[in-house]
């Protein structure tokens, strides 16, 4: 009986150890990249609080891993605050999705870049944008920004600065959910942009 009990205990331990979930894979460290002719040049975090809209640009955090008092690469002023760990995790999720997107080299996205280049204002450069609503009121009166792919065009040309950037925008909601650009939104935006760019000038 004692031997049977010992065997049963060993079997239970073995079953328990084999059913453990594997440890999560650490997120890739965010950084600039060049993939398939597309370039990621930087990142920005918009930390919302309470019921007031954010003050731009003084409250925006710049760089992939913003730290209070540190001047990020390419900027002249130190960041006013440190990005929250939850916001960094959301940005890393969005970053991984962006890498996968450009590696897949979608034909429709390439077409939009080719047409936009002919018009002189679309360039194959990305900026990673993360909204952090973790400290915002629920509901947030100014409105919660949608996670999306879109193109920001500079209002006034300012060479040698680029004429615009693709924005890969994600949002960390008050609930803690991290939302990133989804295929349906991406497709719809590219369809509209291509239709606009194909119109005769």
pLDDT tens track for 7-28: 433 333 333 434 444 444 456 7
Q: What is the pTM of this model?
A: 0.85
Given this model, what pLDDT does residue 26 score? 53
Judge contact between 112 and 196, C-beta under 8 A: no
Between β-strands 148-153 and 178-179, what pairing exists: parallel, antiparallel or unpaired? Answer: unpaired
| DSSP 8-state code for residue 51 | T
Given this model, what pLDDT does residue 74 score? 87
User: How many Cβ atoms are within 10 Å of 150's Cβ, its own excluded?
Assistant: 16
- The SS3 assignment for 164 reads strand
pLDDT tens track for 113-142: 999 999 999 999 999 999 999 999 999 999
Structure tokens belonging to residue 183: 């295929």
Between β-strands 38-50 and 125-136, what pairing exists: parallel, antiparallel or unpaired? Answer: parallel
């Amino acid at each position: 009986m004692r031997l049977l009990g010992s065997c049963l205990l060993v079997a239970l331990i073995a079953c328990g150890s084999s059913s453990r979930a594997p440890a999560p894979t650490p997120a890739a460290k965010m950084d600039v990249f060049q993939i398939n002719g597309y370039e990621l040049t930087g990142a920005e975090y918009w930390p919302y609080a309470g019921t007031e809209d954010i003050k731009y640009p003084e409250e925006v955090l710049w760089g992939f891993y913003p730290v209070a008092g540190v001047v990020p690469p390419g900027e002249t002023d130190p960041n006013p605050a440190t990005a929250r760990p939850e916001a960094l995790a959301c940005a890393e999720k969005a970053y991984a999705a962006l890498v996968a997107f450009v590696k897949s080299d979608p034909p429709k996205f390439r077409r939009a870049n080719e047409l936009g280049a002919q018009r002189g204002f679309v360039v194959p450069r990305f900026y990673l944008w993360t909204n952090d609503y973790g400290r915002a009121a629920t509901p947030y009166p100014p409105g919660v920004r949608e996670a999306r792919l879109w193109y920001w065009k500079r209002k006034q040309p300012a060479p040698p600065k680029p004429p615009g950037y693709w924005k890969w925008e994600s949002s960390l909601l008050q609930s803690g959910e991290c939302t990133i650009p989804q295929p349906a939104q991406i497709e719809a935006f590219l369809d509209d942009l291509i239709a606009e760019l194909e119109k005769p000038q």
